[in-house]
A and B are shown apart, each in its own frame.
Chain A
Amino acid sequence: MRKTYLGLTGAVAISAMLAAAGPVWAQQQSPMLDAAVESGELPPVAERLPSNPLVVDGESVGKYGGTWRMGMRGGGDNGIIVKTVAYEGLVRFDHEWKTVLPNLAESWEVSPDAKEYTFKLRDGVKWSDGTPFTTEDIAFTVEIYKDPDYAAGSWIDSTTNPMTLEVIDELTFKFTFEKPNGMFLETIAGTDGLHITSLQKKYCGQFYPKYNENADADAQAAGFTNWALYLQDRCAWGFETIRFANPDLPVLYGWVIDQPLNANAARLTWKRNPYFWKTDSEGNQLPYIDNIDMRVSESIEELTLLALNGEIDFQERHIATVINKPLFFDGQEQGDYHLGEVIPSSSNTLVLQLNMNHDDPVKRELYQNKDFRIGLSHAIDRQEIIDVVFTGQGEPFQVAPRPESEFYDEELAKQYTEFDPELAAQHLDAAGLTEMNGDGIRLMSNGEPAKITVDVISALRPEWIDILEIMQLQFQAVGIELELNNIDRTLFYEKRPGNEYDAQIWAGDGGIEALQDPRYYFPFSDESVWAYKWVQWYNGTRPEIAEEPIDWAKEQMALYDQVKAEADPAKRGELFRQVLAITKEQFPVIGVSLMPNSYSIIRNNLKNAPESMFNAWLFPTPAPMDPVTWYFE
């Protein structure tokens, strides 16, 4: 580290000398831009930066240059862009995923009833084409999102809690929600916040009939049926993949598209945004890294080899699998990289969600029976699964907030996790499964053997099928038959509205972001497949299949409504703990083990990159770890 500083001071000194002619003492830019500034193509760095740039510091002050190489899985992998480049909303999370920090918004105010949010934009922030970013753009975005012809959906045009925008001045605006929206800041600090800062009025307005009478004709001239399709092609919402196919689209990211992503692209490349509005505390315009090179590959094996060969600088996504770990571990020297720690947000490796809304009354009754679920849970030898599938990584765990979460509750996490076939049998007996057939399978009340068919997508996580194959034998020992139905993911989703499943398998999302994604704690979203019909009653998305929930679930829903309305985080936590208490009491879904930590590949010459970070969709790492401050030595 010592050496790093020495090297750096030299670099800084040189840039300082270069900038000495300018009026501001400390603002430096990448040498990559010098020629453009000299030729007058670009204004000097001081004019490009806002008067009050956002100052972000890494562990050390970096130096400019280099290319950050990573790998995208096929063309449709917009996730990796969100997680690296595109995470620039009004606000952002801190590195610990605890506090919401200012980003494009310099400051905000929340009304006590949590209905009104007033934001003040950073003054002088410019889009990548040099146009100032103002409330006009915010207003335009809201307008477009609310246009039914523009296929996007988010909190902006929400129907359950409609929002209205009020522009106060060029930099100040106010969102007003019909109902209290206590978690709004957390929402927009996550990926949902990328919607509102994604469209520039000047550029996108030209495709919208309201601002361009000829929009429809232009669209047809460009080969599109109507303006809406053309608009969606040029100015897709938030982080939709095809946004990155348009290099002309002005953005607020640290890098702008160089070679766009398209169906034929072998790579998507980015170059630094000369108008980026963040600096380090020494006044160097960020990012340090000049270019990003995202290899587009359908071949996981190619990405794996690239990483092994040191041709990937920082990556966790796609390649950091349990199975590959020994490989990457051994390859550190040859590839000149090391492994960083990644803490998953998932609480559990596998969640068994029995369909409590099953159409078959016998199964419905059985799956709603808590004794049945407890019996199954005790029948699982979790330690064995952990040893076999995860080489001893992890611990027996239910679907509960992770130890890192403020909602961690040891009892909730550990209840019914001990392996005890005797106890399991007692509970299954108590659930009414006392009779057995010749094969030793218990009989349900209608005389049918107790067979649970579980849908699983092994293509998504190969270890699921491994765990289930072991569980199959363990359940068999207590007289329950588990049939594995390994299916395509489309089918997996198609089966939900039709209610055509006994049980489905997924990972334990919501281990850290329990408050934002409580799908396993109560019937919260379409992903709560254990109570799909109750969810519909709560959300109202598919009223035709909605069913009134059981009382305890209704109580949770009511409590969660209060959570959403509460602006005070402390009170919110209090309310949510009440939701979790009911979850603990009712034990709706069965978990297996705590999701073990994953790892990231970090090239040894990449500095300021996090040695440890969370990984979630709502906390789209590594982007909240400020990659703009990373640099190559």
Chain B
Amino acid sequence: MVQFIIRRLIAMILTLFAISIVAFAIIQLPPGDYLTTYIASLSSTGEQVDPRVIANLRSQYGLGEPFYVQYFKWIGGILTGNFGQSFEWKRPVTELIWGRLGNSMLLEGMAVITMWLIALPIGIYAAVRKYSLGDYLATVGGFIGLAVPNFFFALILMYLAYTWFGVTLGGLFSPGFENARWSLPRIWDFLSHAWAPILVLSMAGTAELIRILRANLLDELKKPYVVTARAKGLPEWRVILKYPVRLAMNPLVSTIGWLLPALVSGSVIVSVVLNLPTAGPMLLRSLTTQDMYLAGAIILLLSVLTVIGTVISDILLALIDPRIRYGGK
């Protein structure tokens, strides 16, 4: 077990290194740099900026050095905890991202929990009552969940909330609670805002989970150990929950890690539409304004979270599945 974890950790570090290079390459890929986008965005509103300001800034920011020099400066800084400065906000990147990342993780974590809470009973029901009306409903519903682009769903939700309830969905808090401390009313306020994004974010994932769970469970339900368990005299629900469901979940546990990048990507667009203070819109903005250290840090951290998530789910899988833990097949 220890060896297993060590092996996974070493692989993780190598992956992270590769990711840092790719992350940096991505933010360098688009033509131009922060300052060109800066000029562009100013002049699109009719504003103009003196070219000398730009020249000044360019030298201050160290833009224009070769790729590898910039990369090593960047990664060197990160190793000492310095993610660089955001050009747009002129603040250290670390100051800017934690709040957003925290919101992202909160929302996405809740989305994952919601997903499981919804998908688990439905998936089990669909598998146990295979080809029943409920199964068909779950399947069709699941596919529709997969097929509707989630930003579209968000938009429709916003519009319906306006026309039906006269409510503007958007943001995570009411004005009074934005900077308040966590308290019961604040949690309530948060939930009253967060249900919409959580619903939207978890929709596609729920559908996917239901499908996988149903398929896995169908496989497991055919296994002889289920009959053994029934032969013991266990009630049916206990048979199913303790044995096949438990085994059907194993492959799902290993997908928790993969869920994260998909969720993050999905949440970028949803967050833009619903104006959520998550890492998504900040990433999108920093990528379009080419605020490269900010973008790089977000990409890197999201990837790190994903990789860590994968490692955790691998370890979790090893913990719940003795066959992996003891190196059996």
Interface residues of A (CB under 8 A from B): 74-76, 79, 148-154, 157, 159, 191, 223, 228-229, 232-233, 236, 241-242, 245, 259, 262-264, 266-267, 293, 295, 297-299, 301-302, 305-306, 308-309, 311, 334, 457, 460, 488-494, 509, 525, 527, 541, 616-618
Contacts and interface: CB of A to CB of B under 8 A. Distances in A.
Specify which of A79, A236, A298, A489 lies most central, judged by the most chain B CB atoms within 10 Å of its CB.
A298
A99 to B, nearest CB: 22
Nearest to A226: B60
Q: Which 4 A-B pairs have the closest CB atoms?
A: A153-B50, A617-B46, A153-B53, A302-B170
Contacts of B39: 493
A76 B172 CA distance: 20
Contact of A299 (B32, B92, B274): B274
Contacts of B31: 490-491, 494
A263 B92 CA distance: 11
A232 B90 contact: yes
Contacts of B57: 151
Nearest to A261: B89
A232 B86 CA distance: 13
Contact of B91 (A76, A159, A233, A298): A233
A182 B43 CA distance: 25
Contacts of A74: 281, 285
Contacts of A311: 168
Contact of B162 (A152, A154, A308, A618): A308
B274 A302 contact: yes
A266 B48 contact: no
Contact of A493 (B40, B178, B274): B40
Contacts of B169: 302, 305
Specify which of A75, A76, A151 lies most central, judged by the most chain B CB atoms within 10 Å of its CB.
A151
B155 interface: yes
Interface string B148-162: 000000010011001
Nearest to B173: A266
Contact of A490 (B32, B47, B90, B158): B32
Contacts of A154: 50
A591 to B, nearest CB: 17
Contacts of A263: 86, 88-89, 91, 96-97, 100, 282
Contact of B90 (A153, A229, A305, A306): A229
Given A259-B179, A490-B37, A490-B40, A223 B49 contact: no
A617 B96 CA distance: 30
Given A74-B285, A617-B47, A306 B30 contact: no
10 contacts: A76-B88, A152-B50, A153-B51, A233-B90, A242-B90, A245-B89, A263-B91, A306-B170, A309-B162, A490-B36
Contacts of B91: 233, 242, 245, 262-263
B175 interface: yes
Given A154-B50, A241-B88, A266-B178, A298 B285 contact: yes
Contact of A191 (B44, B47, B60, B166): B47
B275 A494 contact: no
B41 interface: yes
Contacts of A229: 60, 85, 90
Nearest to A309: B168
Nearest to B280: A298
Contact of A242 (B45, B89, B99): B89
Interface residues of B, number: 60
A76 B53 CA distance: 18
A249 B313 CA distance: 48
Nearest to A239: B47
A527 B171 contact: no
B84 to A, nearest CB: 11
B170 A305 contact: yes
A472 to B, nearest CB: 23
B259 to A, nearest CB: 24
Contact of B171 (A232, A233, A266): A266
Contacts of A617: 45-47
B55 to A, nearest CB: 9
Nearest to B161: A305
Specify which of A263, A301, A493 lies most central, judged by the most chain B CB atoms within 10 Å of its CB.
A263
A409 to B, nearest CB: 23
Contact of B158 (A150, A302, A457): A302
B105 interface: no
A311 B168 CA distance: 9
Contacts of A302: 158, 168-171, 273-275
A457 B40 CA distance: 11
B16 to A, nearest CB: 25
Contact of A298 (B46, B90, B158, B275): B275
A334 B99 CA distance: 36
Given A242-B89, A299-B275, A491-B31, A151 B47 contact: no
Interface in B254-310: 271-275, 277, 281-282, 284-285, 289-290
B170 A492 contact: no
A211 B158 CA distance: 53
Contact of A301 (B96, B155, B284, B289): B155
Nearest to B178: A266
B52 interface: yes
Nearest to B290: A490
B63 to A, nearest CB: 13
Interface in B68-125: 85-86, 88-92, 96-97, 99-100
Given A233-B90, A489-B44, A264 B96 contact: yes
